[in-house]
Structure 1
């Protein structure tokens, strides 16, 4: 019998929510249009600086600029989530995902303010880099491997993703780095590997 407690329900639910929101917005307008996305929950730092639309720190995590942006993030979410969620549990997974996404957006906002350059931002990548960071810590605690993913593979995955971000246009690297570091630290605070009992 399948152990349903081990199914990554949260990972599947988050991915489904992102896809459904994208489909809904696609029927309403152009998801690659910044003004349209800002009207529907994308983050724009000048509004935050004016004390407005703080909710976009969360809602922007569920919005994507176009189909390829959505698919790239959802594939990474499903691959990492399928390994991480059964290992740390649903509550910790949600805490790390949402907490990393929020911190990634805050770091992104801080960076925009420090640079004096503002753009409409959206996407789940800060949260996804958070679960990459968490899985990296869990792999370290488990002597280099979680399921089929090794620590070396995770470092390579994170490194390639960050390299792509720094060499491509329109990628929010501050959110990626903020999410990655936050996810690692949240895992340090919440994950303890159970030691077998000795009798």
Structure 2
């Protein structure tokens, strides 16, 4: 059963990566993803437009937008490496909703945390959803006694520590969304993930 799970295609994760890349290329060919005003006009998170203008779609669209090539490359690399593991663990449908809820939830909590500065903060990126994926994997790995497929608790902790350190040591990073995504991911993992039952000889030969 484990070998079969390893071969299962994580097509939802692939689709998320494809949407991010396609929208990034569209934005780059019609303007500049490093232009703040341009990004806001195409769906980036800007709290006044959400809270005062009722543009709640930004909570979703912004998680498929990135500021520049380095931003999207870093995020998609992590999602490519880790996302398929969680999709196989949760299943396609659960993973689809897990990813979107983590991304939107991270945006909401980030907006609440940064409420005092919300008129000056413009944010975009899949980082909140990706930290949610990491949080979900952390829970799944812990439930499986420290290992899930080729992932271990130690590896995930290193990824979390390095990612948070990079965020807090850099400027222009929405660290509130990162932490929020991580916490939401652990909570969602608790709700959605179920450890597979061990197969008995009866199951194998039946």
Q: Give your verdict on TM over 0.5.
A: yes
Instruction: Name the TM tier (shorter chain).
Output: over 0.9
Corresponding residue for residue 124 of structure 2 = 122
Query: Per-residue displacement from partner, 1:13-39 (whole Å, max 9, x unpaired)?
Result: 100110000001100001100000000
Query: Per-residue displacement from partner, 1:103-134 (whole Å, max 9, x unpaired)?
Result: 10011111221456631110000000000000
State the 1:196 CA deviation.
Answer: 2.7
Contact 2:140/2:189, CA 8 A, preserved across alignment: yes
CA RMSD of aligned residues (A): 1.7
Corresponding residue for residue 88 of structure 2 = 86
Contact 2:135/2:183, CA 8 A, preserved across alignment: yes
Contact 2:62/2:125, CA 8 A, preserved across alignment: yes
Q: Is the deviation greater in 29-38 or in 187-196?
A: 187-196
Between the two proteins, the alignment pairs up a number of residues equal to 198
State the 1:172 CA deviation.
Answer: 0.4
- Output the CA distance in 1 between the equivalents of 2:5 and 2:193: 22
Corresponding residue for residue 44 of structure 1 = 46
- Output the CA distance in 2 between the equivalents of 1:126 and 1:31: 19
Give the TM-score, by structure 2 length.
0.91
Unaligned 5+ runs, structure 2: none
- Displaced runs of 4 or more, over 6 A: 2-5
- Alignment partner for residue 58 of structure 2, among 56, 59, 68? 56
- Alignment partner for residue 68 of structure 1, among 49, 67, 70? 70
Give the TM-score, by structure 1 length.
0.94
Unaligned 5+ runs, structure 1: none
| Structure of larger gyration radius | 2
